[in-house]
Chains A and B, each alone.
Chain A
């Protein structure tokens, strides 16, 4: 039996009379890489923000790491990591200071934090950059640091909102190696992306159209169901039916 770490049922979010997220129901299991796809404006980020406790849902149910999104959002926050679309490290702090700050906020004990920070900096190959301001580093590096920082406190789930946007293919590949590594350690990865090759790397994929989930399966079965040879065609097939404009 797979352990469920995210569970939603008819989760809905309305802004006035606009339904951004329309009664979505799905489960995410421990350790899997769950791809959350959809065109711009399909409601991915809104759904993700609800699951992270940044936004209140309008109706429906959702549990993240066993905690209720309505009443226990602060408990959820202890067990998740989050990397937003907007780059969210402090540009005027150094690499080391950023890692230590966010690690500290998650309550990692000081001595342990120091060890972990040094270990991470070494693993990322940033020993010479450790005392440089983050703002001076190239985007790809920032994204890697950002991801590493998001999982430094060993969360049960990490939410990644378009983590590889604007990053070169080599760095993208390296980034996905890091994602696999995290997943192997048992961290569930919930990731949105616009790159269909990345969708192929996921264990399971859901595709959102106009706020609702139009398809949810593993990539190979999904391709079979739609009778196409890659995820790109699956996506185009579904997104063509979308009523909301780009």
Chain B
């Protein structure tokens, strides 16, 4: 027990003397939380639209105005040549071309039907998809307005109207910050927990001090606890800072309780610390550890559902997400922050995290040797 205290004392002293680690712990949460949500905003605005108007009627102009007035579109071009608009697509100035055919107004009035054509630049699939969808909605609304004007006697309306209204539960304003910020908190904890631990142990290997420790009667579990406890504390410090930033800068506070966040963070950290320890038993140099870390981080983030929902991944990938610890933590943090889930709602995730904690630490402890073969 005494040995452990000596180890902890030493570790904390070293951490507080290392400006790089301190910077990482204090600045990383702040910078990541500010930058990533701003960059990873999926709400598509300012879609550049070219309107090819072959009709030049009041209706065609009204439709154009309606599109621009929606706020989603920006009129890049207004002409009567599809060819010319295509060129602007090639130059990247136009995302969507709306073609209004000749006799649009006439057909609309006389035959109660008219056609328009939408073409989208699908290099950026999300932009194209959303742009087309927005345009479709606006045209449908335009359609309804026109009908209402013509139907003099609403009770005789021959076409029943189905209006779809929607409500966004839990995130009524559909804020991307509310979606991204908790997810980034989860990634932060993962980084601090797994990678600082791995780098720290491998650094001792490189300098040779680990050999000096291995030749002392220090017990394996003491060494491991001496390494894990400080980074467990740092992980909790880092999520606390992260939550503070989320509140101060984005005004985001959990709907659920902070207590739930901490309980899950504490257990989840044990698992990621195990990953860090495991990496350190394989890596001989800090370069190797960094490359391992980089690889794992990519997989963690991509499979973790930070950017893309797990449900829309192919089935095999969904299976992989089940063995990806951050998937659970991202889900938990989002649930507590956005839905206000409590501990009992998240029991399956809790068990999964316990399993990860045991699994990774078991492997790491088995792999860590005071004596080489």
Residue of B nearest to A103 (CB): B6
Chain B, residues 1-14, CB within 8 Å of chain A (1/0): the string is: 01101110110011
A104 x B211 contact (CB < 8 A): no
Chain A, residues 174-216, CB within 8 Å of chain B (1/0): the string is: 0000000000000000000000000000000000000000000
Give Cα A176–Cα B371 distance, bound, in whole angstroms.
Answer: 30
Chain B contacts for A84, CB-based, 8 A? 208, 211-212, 215
Give Cα A106–Cα B9 distance, bound, in whole angstroms.
Answer: 15
A74 x B17 contact (CB < 8 A): no
Residue from the set A53, A78, A88 with the largest chain B CB neighbour count within 10 Å: A88
Chain A, residues 90-102, CB within 8 Å of chain B (1/0): the string is: 1111000100111
Instruction: Tell me whether A123 is interfacial, beta carbon within 8 Å.
Output: no
Chain A, residues 6-25, CB within 8 Å of chain B (1/0): the string is: 00000000000000000000
B10 x A90 contact (CB < 8 A): yes
Give Cα A90–Cα B10 distance, bound, in whole angstroms.
Answer: 9
Chain B residues numbered 1-44 whose CB sits less than 8 Å from any CB in chain A: 2-3, 5-7, 9-10, 13-14, 17-18
B215 x A54 contact (CB < 8 A): yes
Chain B, residues 53-77, CB within 8 Å of chain A (1/0): the string is: 0000000000000000000000000
Instruction: Tell me whether A77 is interfacial, beta carbon within 8 Å.
Output: yes
A106 x B217 contact (CB < 8 A): yes
A88 x B10 contact (CB < 8 A): no
Instruction: Tell me whether A26 is interfacial, beta carbon within 8 Å.
Output: no
Q: A92-B18, A105-B3, A105-B6 are in contact. Are A54 and B211 (CB under 8 A)?
A: yes
Interface size class of B (residues with CB under 8 A): 20 to 34
Give Cα A111–Cα B348 distance, bound, in whole angstroms.
Answer: 50
Chain A contacts for B211, CB-based, 8 A? 54, 84, 86, 88
Instruction: Tell me whether A143 is interfacial, beta carbon within 8 Å.
Output: no
Chain B contacts for A74, CB-based, 8 A? 217, 370
A107 x B3 contact (CB < 8 A): yes
Chain A contacts for B5, CB-based, 8 A? 104
Chain A, residues 123-167, CB within 8 Å of chain B (1/0): the string is: 000000000010000000000000000000000000000000000
A104 x B6 contact (CB < 8 A): yes
Instruction: Tell me whether B216 is interfacial, beta carbon within 8 Å.
Output: yes
Instruction: Tell me whether A82 is interfacial, beta carbon within 8 Å.
Output: yes
Chain A contacts for B373, CB-based, 8 A? 55-56
Q: Show the binding face of A for B, using Cβ within 8 Å.
A: 52-56, 73-74, 77-78, 80, 82, 84, 86-93, 97, 100-102, 104-107, 133
11 contacts between A and B (CB under 8 A): A55-B371, A55-B373, A78-B217, A90-B209, A93-B14, A97-B10, A102-B212, A102-B216, A105-B3, A105-B7, A105-B217
